[in-house]
Amino acid sequence: MKNVLFGASALAMITSGAFADVTIGNPMAMTGPIPDLNAPIAAAVDLAAKSVNEQGGMFKSGEMLNIIRADSACDPTAAVDAVTKLINVSNVAAIVGPVCSGATIAQAESVSIPAGVVTLSVSASSPAISTMEDGTDLVFRAAASDAYQGVALAELAIEKGYMDMAVSYANDDYNAAIAAVFVDAYTAAGGTVTANEAHEPSKASYRSEVATLGSTSDNLALFAYYGSGGITVMRNALETAAFSNFIGADGMLSDEVIEQIGAENMGGVTFTTSASDPTTEAYAAWSAVAEAGGVPAADPFVPNGYDAAFMMALAIEKAGTADRGAIAAALREISSAPGEIILPGEWAKAKEILAAGGDINYEGGAGNQDFDENGDVAGLFSKSEVVDGAWVAELIK
């Protein structure tokens, strides 16, 4: 009898514990074409949860913030599966992630929007995400839209003196969208697009593609994920001497590319990515937090990952409940003026102000993170080139 009672009370404790904790679902591209880019972003999300839990946890009772991770594999189908499980089985309060645009759009359209759950993507940058919602306000992102990055890339191409370019893009939501923005901006700026072809991701060979494109120009604007064809396209282009200069965006910016292709072959390669202004106070705070947590502060979308998870925690704290319905409005309130400025890592301070009924305005390592009416944020970009066998980034002014 004693044992039964003990067992029952232990069970009661476990269940009440599980109910009390706040859980956020975090679908990330753990497998798929960009695991290398994804790993530090996932570490940054965990670091944000650690900041919260070390500085008093959630709400008055100091509940734990739990991140439940799932694998969205940078793939629409996998993302829908992962998020369905997070929302229906794990019963999470909100979604932070996914990494890729295709995955974000698919999971939002078929799972999270119908379920009324807020999605805050860490790095999805397709322009299509700005306009995908119809009457709801549930999809946000902590990274800037490619509507801007495509333009930055076009300016970069002109500045480098590439007056004619061939364009090759992988056939998916992210790459097709940024390629379209780039082509418009580049043509408007006086450049000539000599050929513009989609390519199928993950093929064994792209020699015929690069040969067809290579006869028109010496410069290639390549939009692909490095792990699903991007590296092979570059390698085939270099092997056949079809192209000597390459520009591209986030999806290609990985150390993996240098390791595979060899730094000596990458003299004419420039890729852009979302970047932070390292002179701001918020960035200094972020880099201190990142250094203490052992996360590479300046890697692509890593500050965005921390900001997204931290803002989601702030929004739930502000709402005062892990109830799904109240989070979207709270997310807008905690991220924009008016209010006391909160920097990365300042959870205890934010908690105190919120408890006293005050207003806060989060400024993140990635930028000021003020959402516009589409749930987008503004951002800066950097260009990276290979110097001495490693990527060296420089902010684009």
Partner 1 sequence: MWDAFGFEFVNFYLIPGLVLGCIYALGAIGITLTFGILRFANFAHGEMMMMGGYLTWTIMAIVTALFGLTLHPLVAMVPATAVVIFLFLLTDKYFYKPFRKEDTIKVVMASFGMMLIIRSAVQAIWGPNQLKFVSGIAKPNEILRDVSGSIDLMLLVPNKHIWIFLGTIVIVIALSYLLNKTRIGKAMRAVSDSPDLAHVTGIDVDQVIRATWIVGGICAMAAGVFLAMDIQLLETTMGFRMLLPMFAAAILGGIGKPYGAVFGGLVIGLAEELSAYPWIGDTPLLSPGYKTGVAFAIMVIMLIVRPQGLFKGRSF
Whole-angstrom Cα distance, residue 74 to residue 82?
Answer: 11
Q: Which is nearer to partner 1, 142 or 242 (CB)?
A: 242
- Facing residues of 25 across strands? 68, 95
Q: Which is nearer to partner 1, 257 or 354 (CB)?
A: 257
CB of 175 to partner 1, least distance (A): 11
Whole-angstrom Cα distance, residue 104 to residue 124?
Answer: 7
Q: Which is nearer to partner 1, 75 or 333 (CB)?
A: 75
Whole-angstrom Cα distance, residue 254 to residue 248?
Answer: 12
Residue keyed to tokens 């009390």:
20
For 221, other C-beta atoms within 10 Å of its C-beta total 28
Q: Which is nearer to partner 1, 264 or 373 (CB)?
A: 264
Whole-angstrom Cα distance, residue 250 to residue 2?
Answer: 61
Copy the structure tokens of residue 320.
């005062």
DSSP 8-state code for residue 133? -
CB of 33 to partner 1, least distance (A): 8
CB of 387 to partner 1, least distance (A): 18
Q: Which is nearer to partner 1, 179 or 275 (CB)?
A: 179
- Facing residues of 381 across strands? 274
CB of 137 to partner 1, least distance (A): 34
Q: Which is nearer to partner 1, 31 or 53 (CB)?
A: 31
**84 alpha-carbon distance from chain centroid:** 20
CB of 197 to partner 1, least distance (A): 6
Contacts of residue 36, defined as CB under 8 A and 6 or more positions apart, other chains included, come to 226, 227, 254, 255, 256
Q: Which is nearer to partner 1, 30 or 178 (CB)?
A: 30
Q: Which is nearer to partner 1, 126 or 335 (CB)?
A: 126
CB of 74 to partner 1, least distance (A): 11
DSSP 8-state code for residue 74? T
Whole-angstrom Cα distance, residue 14 to residue 252?
Answer: 45
Sign of CA dihedral 309, 311, 317, 321: negative
Copy the structure tokens of residue 326.
């109240």
Contacts of residue 32, defined as CB under 8 A and 6 or more positions apart, other chains included, come to 72, 73, 74, 75, 78, 100, 227, 228
Binding interface with partner 1 (CB under 8 A) = 30-32, 35-36, 171, 195, 197-200, 202-212, 215, 227, 231-232, 235, 238-242, 256, 259-262, 264-265
CB of 119 to partner 1, least distance (A): 23
CB of 264 to partner 1, least distance (A): 8
